[in-house]
């Protein structure tokens, strides 16, 4: 029997959503560095949230244009989740929008990303008065439990790892996994990255900061695969609260046939499962096909734009985007 709508609404008010724990992103240093990367000063971005000692604490990092009309979450393709700690129920989301309009009375649009499915459901359940929401899929998040991890992987992947590792061993390959960054490892990282298929990094400074921050905090797991002392594959993983996030990876294109990245991923997976005793492997954002071989489940990520409906310009944009979205859905069905 279906539950009455009032009961469902009450559950949304009080239910807490367990968001993925990503402490490396929940610290202020992450957002300060990210703000510098996109050209903001500490005066340009701000936090909304409950008090530090309040029960059910939440906090969002945001920034706005000079007119205070367009506001966005402090995130980009380096971001894995809203943060530092997103609202965990419908009531907190309403509190967030109340604080936003009090802080920026002229704000007519708020863009949040990446938003997971649970957060999207709470945003919709909040029924934000005076706001209209549009959600568009932007990426995916792949995760896997470490319980019986290798038996759950395909025989094709396991055989590929064994075969490629044997070949690399015959060539004298070695693997180094460390928790501390130094000048030599940093040079190896960029040497491989520049020879990989990856596009040019928009800002090496942010990655350098991230590697150093992870090293200082003990969350970094940096793997390097060498042949004759030449680095040919590198990976940066971040580990905290039982989660190992596969953050950055690259391999020298000249050695693609040897699949050094595949072998290095397997070595790092073994390391974090055996040494760090993590319960979850997280491939963060991106819909690359190869991630399905390593992970168990895939969850969509969204960009949610909230439009202030008492503003004529914002209302017009909202209606136009609603019509466009519905037309696209109709075309896809046809």
Residue 298 CA to residue 303 CA, distance in Å, equals 17
177: phi then psi, degrees, rounded to nearest 5: -125, 120
CA distances for 163 relative to 82, 152, 195, 270, 280, angstroms: 40, 19, 24, 17, 26
**Where do the CATH 3.40.630.30 domains begin and end in the chain?**
148-278
- CA-CA distance, 306 to 273, in Å (whole number)? 40
Two structure tokens written together for 314 = 């914002």
Give the CA angle between residues 37, 43, 47 to the nearest 5°: 85
Q: How many CA atoms lie within 13 A of 267 on its CB side?
A: 23
- C-alpha 319/C-alpha 126 separation (Å) is 20
Q: Which residues of the chain have pLDDT under 50?
A: 1-20
Q: Tell me which residue of 299, 255, 294 sits closest to 272, measured CA to CA.
A: 294
Q: Is 23 helix (H, G, I), strand (E, B) or coil?
A: helix
Under the phi-then-psi rule, with left for phi > 0, alpha for psi from -120 to 50, and beta for the rest, what region is 284? left
pLDDT tens digits along 20-64: 456 556 566 778 888 888 888 877 889 999 865 555 688 899 999
Is the Cβ–Cβ distance between 272 and 281 less than 8 Å? yes
Residue 43 has a pLDDT of 79
- For 5-142+299-333, CATH number out of 3.40.630, 3.40.1360, 3.10.50, 3.30.470 equals 3.40.630
**Residue 328: what pLDDT?**
80
| Token pair in block for residue 220 | 């970094």
Tell me the pLDDT tens digit for each residue of 72-121: 999 887 788 888 888 999 999 999 999 999 999 999 999 999 999 999 99
C-alpha torsion sign, points 31, 34, 38, 39: positive
Nearest to 100 by CA among 136, 70, 132, 142: 70
* Cα(331)–Cα(208) distance, integer angstroms: 45
Two structure tokens written together for 254: 């000249």
**What sign results for the dihedral spanned by CA atoms 189, 274, 243, 246?**
positive
Backbone φ and ψ for 209, nearest 5 degrees, come out as -60, -45
**CATH superfamily label, 148-278:** Gcn5-related N-acetyltransferase (GNAT) (3.40.630.30)
Q: What percent of the chain has pLDDT over 90?
A: 67
Query: What three-state secondary structure class fits 57?
Result: coil
Instruction: Report phi then psi at 174, rounded to 5.
Output: -130, 155
Per this entry, what is the length of the chain? 334
């Amino acid at each position: 029997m279906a539950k009455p709508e009032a009961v469902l609404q009450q559950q949304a008010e009080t239910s807490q959503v367990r968001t993925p724990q990503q402490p490396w992103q929940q610290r202020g240093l992450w957002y300060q560095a990210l703000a510098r990367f996109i050209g903001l000063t500490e005066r340009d971005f701000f936090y909304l949230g409950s008090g530090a000692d309040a029960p059910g604490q939440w906090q969002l990092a945001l920034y706005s244009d000079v007119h205070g009309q367009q506001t966005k979450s402090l995130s980009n393709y380096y971001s894995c989740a809203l943060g530092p700690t997103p609202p965990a129920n419908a009531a907190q989301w309403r509190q967030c929008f109340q604080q936003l309009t009090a802080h920026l009375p002229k704000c007519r649009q708020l863009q949040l990303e990446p938003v997971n499915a649970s957060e999207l459901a709470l945003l919709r359940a909040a029924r934000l008065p005076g706001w209209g929401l549009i959600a568009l899929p932007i990426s995916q998040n792949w995760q896997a439990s470490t319980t019986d991890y290798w038996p759950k992987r395909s025989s094709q992947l396991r055989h590929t790892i064994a075969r490629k590792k044997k070949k690399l061993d015959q060539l004298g390959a070695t693997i180094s996994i460390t928790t501390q960054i130094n000048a030599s490892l940093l040079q190896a990282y960029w040497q491989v990255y520049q020879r990989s298929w990856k596009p040019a990094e928009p800002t090496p400074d942010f990655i350098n900061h991230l590697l150093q921050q992870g090293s200082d905090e003990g969350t970094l797991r940096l793997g390097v695969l060498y042949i004759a002392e030449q680095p040919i594959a590198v990976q940066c993983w971040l580990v905290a609260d039982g989660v190992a996030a596969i953050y950055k990876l690259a391999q020298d294109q000249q050695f693609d046939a040897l699949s050094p990245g595949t072998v290095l991923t397997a070595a790092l997976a073994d390391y974090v499962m055996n040494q760090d005793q993590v319960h979850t492997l997280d491939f963060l954002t991106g819909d690359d096909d190869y991630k399905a071989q390593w992970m168990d489940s895939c969850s969509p990520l969204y960009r949610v734009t909230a439009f202030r409906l008492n503003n004529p310009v914002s209302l017009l944009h909202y209606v136009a985007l609603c019509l466009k979205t519905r037309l696209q859905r109709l075309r896809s069905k046809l």
